[in-house]
Amino acid sequence: MSVEFCGLELAHPIINASGTFDAIAARRAFGDQLIERFPFAAFVSKTVTLEPRQGNPPPRLWEVAGGLINSIGLPNKGLAGYLEQDLPELACLGVPLIVNVMGFSRAEVAHLVRAVSEREEVSALELNVSCPNVETGLMMGADPGEIAALLHRVRPLTDKPLIVKLTPSATDVPAVALAAFRAGADAVSLINTVRGMALDPRTGEPWLGGTTGGVSGPAIRPIALAQVHAVAEAVPIPIVAMGGVQRGRDAHDLMRAGASLVAVGTESFRDPAAGLRIAAQLADLTSTVRP
């Protein structure tokens, strides 16, 4: 099941989706067992921003049929805290590290890319572009021109693989993927969460502290499949696919649609070892299902 991805040798094609597996907390809970049976072939960090963030006020989660809505709001220690405290711990996991970064201007993203890329523990970077560029008012990942300008700025700053995490809310996701590829992205990943909302049944007011949030889990799996299929037709670079993967069959479907790797997100909350189970199920399917 080993795969090559942007020059990295991975033991199997299953990795985690950013922000859905806290490897440092898991290491504390499970000790060296976690390292011996790490569920993913590479570890993707949650989003790192330049400055520390508290995240959104609670409540931050709402369960829906087939998934959940989160308005976590990207709490994190900021770049300096991540590099000093988290990265050395994550480097002990024994799998390649992919660091997910997000900035609110091209200059901020450039700063993040340069600083993260300098660290030898880091194998690749993922750009989370599901946020507005405060300089232009446009969402970085929603517009082909914005994404091209961003990549032109940051591509020369690193020789490491750059994965662009596309936003599913772009009007034309394949056009954004194509612009990212033409401006030097090594791979794209998709899908991020889909905007949703829930009302408190007692008051009728928005339940989530952030008013709206991102829907994830099996509810978005068909959207992921359609978007991965469309993006695979548009670009020749590898795709990391995610969105509602619960079983080997779901990962297999996304690979049939054009993905090279599959990331597991929400399912890890239910079963922290889901990555291993899904990789094993995928291996069984790949050996028994004829294309």
Ligand X SMILES: Cc1cc2nc3c(=O)[nH]c(=O)nc-3n(C[C@H](O)[C@H](O)[C@H](O)COP(=O)(O)O)c2cc1C
- C-beta of 33 vs 196, nearer to ligand X: 196
Query: Residues 33, 39, 43, CA angle at the centre, nearest 5°?
Result: 110
**Which residues have a Cβ under 8 Å from the Cβ of 90 and sit 6 or more positions away?**
23, 24, 43, 45, 97, 121
Looking at the annotation, which residues are catalytic?
131
Q: Is 278 in the site for ligand X (CB under 6 A)?
A: no
Phi-psi region of 67 (alpha: psi -120 to 50; beta: other; left: phi over 0): left
Site for ligand X in 85-104 (CB under 6 A): 100
The residue range among 66-74, 79-87, 171-179, 283-291 that interacts with ligand X, by the rule CB under 6 A, is: 66-74
- C-beta of 22 vs 172, nearer to ligand X: 22
**Which residues have a Cβ under 8 Å from the Cβ of 46 and sit 6 or more positions away?**
18, 19, 22, 74, 76, 100
> What does the alpha-carbon distance between residue 88 and residue 34 come to, in Å, rounded to a whole number?
16
Cβ-closest position to ligand X: 19
Among 128, 133, 167, 227, binds ligand X (CB under 6 A): 128
Q: Is 260 in the site for ligand X (CB under 6 A)?
A: no
- C-beta of 204 vs 258, nearer to ligand X: 258
The residue range among 27-35, 155-163, 173-181, 213-221 that interacts with ligand X, by the rule CB under 6 A, is: 213-221
Among 6, 10, 17, 231, binds ligand X (CB under 6 A): 17
- C-beta of 80 vs 156, nearer to ligand X: 80
Q: Is 41 in the site for ligand X (CB under 6 A)?
A: no
Among 232, 245, 255, 282, binds ligand X (CB under 6 A): 245
**Site track 130-169 with ligand X (rule: CB under 6 A), x = hit:** -----------------------------------x----
Q: Is 56 in the site for ligand X (CB under 6 A)?
A: no
Among 6, 13, 15, 20, binds ligand X (CB under 6 A): 20
Q: Is 19 in the site for ligand X (CB under 6 A)?
A: yes
Among 49, 56, 192, 260, binds ligand X (CB under 6 A): 192
Measuring CA to CA, which residue among 285, 235, 288 is closest to residue 13?
Answer: 285
- C-beta of 41 vs 264, nearer to ligand X: 264
The residue range among 18-26, 104-112, 137-145, 271-279 that interacts with ligand X, by the rule CB under 6 A, is: 18-26
Report the interface residues with ligand X, using CB under 6 A. 17-20, 46-47, 70, 72, 74, 100, 128, 165, 192-193, 216-217, 220, 242-245, 264-266
